[in-house]
Chain A
Amino acid sequence: MRTRGNREAAAHRGRWMAAAARRMFSPESFALLVEPAIADLQLETGGGLTARIDAYRTVWIGMAAACDTGIACRARTFVRDNELVTLTGLVLLHAAHSLWMVVLLLGLDGRVHLGRVISARVAEMPAPGFLAAASVLALYGGRVLVRRLSKRASSTACSIVRVVE
Chain B
Amino acid sequence: MDEPKTPSMSATEALLLDLMGDGERFGLELVATSGGRVKRGSVYVTLTRMEAKGFVESRQEERAPGAIGLPRRLYKSTAYGATVRQAYQSLQQAISLRPAEAR
Is chain B a partner of chain A in the same complex? yes
* Residues B42 and A164 in contact, CB atoms below 8 Å apart: yes
Which residue of chain B has its CB nearest to the CB of A9? B68
What is the size, in residues, of chain B's interface with A at 8 Å between Cβ atoms? Answer: 28
* Residues A57 and B41 in contact, CB atoms below 8 Å apart: yes
* Residues A58 and B58 in contact, CB atoms below 8 Å apart: no
* Residues A39 and B45 in contact, CB atoms below 8 Å apart: no
What is the size, in residues, of chain A's interface with B at 8 Å between Cβ atoms? Answer: 29
* Residues A61 and B45 in contact, CB atoms below 8 Å apart: yes
Also in contact, A8 and B40, with CB within 8 A (given A33-B48, A40-B27, A161-B46): no
**When each residue 62-76 of chain B gets 1 if its CB lies under 8 Å from chain A and 0 otherwise, what string results?**
000000111111000
Also in contact, A161 and B70, with CB within 8 A (given A40-B28, A156-B8): no
Number of A-B contacts (CB under 8 A): 80
A158 within 8 A of B: yes
User: A14: shortest Cβ distance to chain B, in Å?
Assistant: 8
Which residue of chain B has its CB nearest to the CB of A28? B48
* Residues A32 and B51 in contact, CB atoms below 8 Å apart: yes
Interface of chain A, main secondary structure: helix
Q: Please measure, in the bound complex, the distance between the C-alpha atom of A38 and the C-alpha atom of B42, giving whole angstroms.
A: 14
* Residues A12 and B68 in contact, CB atoms below 8 Å apart: yes
Contact residues of B between 43 and 91, Cβ < 8 Å to A: 43-49, 51-53, 58, 60, 68-73
Also in contact, A35 and B45, with CB within 8 A (given A54-B40, A156-B53): no
User: B44: shortest Cβ distance to chain A, in Å?
Assistant: 5
Q: List 6 A-B contacts (CB under 8 A).
A: A18-B70, A35-B73, A37-B27, A40-B28, A161-B45, A161-B46
The 3 A-B pairs with the shortest beta carbon distances in the complex, nearest first, are A11-B69, A11-B68, A164-B42
Q: Which residues of A contact B (CB under 8 A)?
A: 8, 10-12, 18, 31-33, 35-40, 42-43, 54-55, 57-58, 61-62, 65, 156, 158, 160-161, 164-165
Q: Which residues of B contact A (CB under 8 A)?
A: 8, 10, 12, 26-28, 39-49, 51-53, 58, 60, 68-73
